[in-house]
Amino acid sequence: MKITDIKTYPTWVGHRNQFIVKVETDEGLHGWGEGGVSWRELAQEGAVKHYREWLIGRDPMRRGALWQEMYRGQYFEGGRVLAAAISAIDMALYDIAGKALGVPVYQLLGGKQRDSVPCFVTIGASSYEQLRDRFTPLHEQGWNVFRVGMAVPPAGTIHASDAPAMTAAIFEPRESIPLTAEWMTRLRQDMGLGPVLGVEYHHRLSVAEAASFCQRMPHGTLDFLEEPIRDECPEAYETLRTMTDVPFAIGEEFSSKWQFLPYIERGITNFARVDICNVGGFTEAMKVAGWAEAHYIDLMPHNPLGPICTAATIQVAAAVPNFAWQEVWIPAPGAPPVDPEIDELFPVRPMLDGTGFPVLDTPGLGVEFNEELAKKQEWRWSEAPRLRRRDGSHTNW
């Protein structure tokens, strides 16, 4: 079997672009993959096109060797864009291998460890009353693991002087911290000790701000704090660890096992937020999973994209013993679907059953993509929201 073509589809789906890759073979089998560097789909597409030129004619079953050649066959190896391109191609190769052998991908990763993949749900709100009202029906439906978005006090927008066409929302950490801490304290009191409760701060805090946030809540309020500060400096996280005992969930931005190294080896993270669309596909994700297992760290995968990312993440979740919960996005109670075209674009895709994904025996990833419709879906220019402080300075989104 030989690779005959690699096609790319930077496609607008509902409210954002997704970057979809298809690898075709001379035996009629194809595989799907997805790259995870959101808002930089065209950069990923360019990287895939570079790899395409020499991957055509290669044996797709030699996916481990092809990963090494993609990663090492250039002077400037690694980096988020290249790793995302490799991730998309790697998962497509695993999809092909599963279909060729007539087995789901998890069988290629060691076999099934669980029959269902448990998930956590994310809720956000503009007031505590709205947060409680969104929590209650989900809890009644059986959801027991909740990630809550930080409180963002209304502050309007400001125009960026260096980019008049852009506007930036104001985000002041010291205004968000006391409000979020109050909400979490009240929510824990109202919902009791049973449900798992975490907060994502999307790396918007400094070490001092993150410590202040944790210290404003009673001990035991949170079960995890996700990405409170940026991850470039492990030593900063080690400092923060000395200032709070709240477990950390870190890793969604990591694009290799080497970036995970200090966080696993030094015990900085307690949940590994591995992203299969950014870390290097199945080839790299499974190495991170084994490494984490050796340090008694569970995976809590980052899964913010589309059905291909979800399908691939389910395969990893099914095959590893050290697993906590998979991220899943569902609309708030009473809200319309986030991506109304999803049924047509992904006619075969994973479907939630209650609060988890059943582990099926469909060969490959168990997902299909409507290419003809995708060709009609134009890629749209879009950017992540810009955040600024009240003084006009930039801060993290």
Contacts of 334 (CB under 8 A, 6+ apart): none
Contact between 318 and 112 under an 8 Å Cβ cutoff? The reply is yes
Contacts of 140 (CB under 8 A, 6+ apart): none
Please say if the pLDDT value at position 338 is more than 80.
Answer: no
Cα 303 to its chain centre, rounded Å, is 3
Q: Which CATH architecture has domain 3-106?
A: 2-Layer Sandwich (3.30)
65 by Cβ neighbours in 10 Å (0-12 / 13-18 / 19+) ranks as exposed
Separation of alpha carbons 24 and 32, rounded Å: 9
* CATH 3.20.20.120 is right for the domain spanning 112-360: yes
C-alpha distances (whole Å) from 236 to each of 1, 79, 210, 231, 243 are 48, 21, 11, 8, 11
173 by Cβ neighbours in 10 Å (0-12 / 13-18 / 19+) ranks as buried
Please say if the pLDDT value at position 302 is more than 80.
Answer: yes
Per-residue pLDDT tens digits for 306-326: 999 999 999 999 999 999 999
What pLDDT is attached to residue 378? 80
Per-residue pLDDT tens digits for 284-297: 999 999 999 999 99
Count the neighbouring beta carbons within 10 Å of the beta carbon of residue 357: 23
Domains 3-106 and 112-360 share a fold: no
pTM of the complete model beyond 0.75: yes
What pLDDT is attached to residue 333? 60
Average pLDDT, the chain: 93
Separation of alpha carbons 106 and 83, rounded Å: 22
Give me the residue spans of the domains in the chain: 3-106, 112-360
* Strand order across the 167-170 sheet: 157-159, 167-170, 386-388, 394-395
Residue with the larger pLDDT of the pair 146 and 152: 146
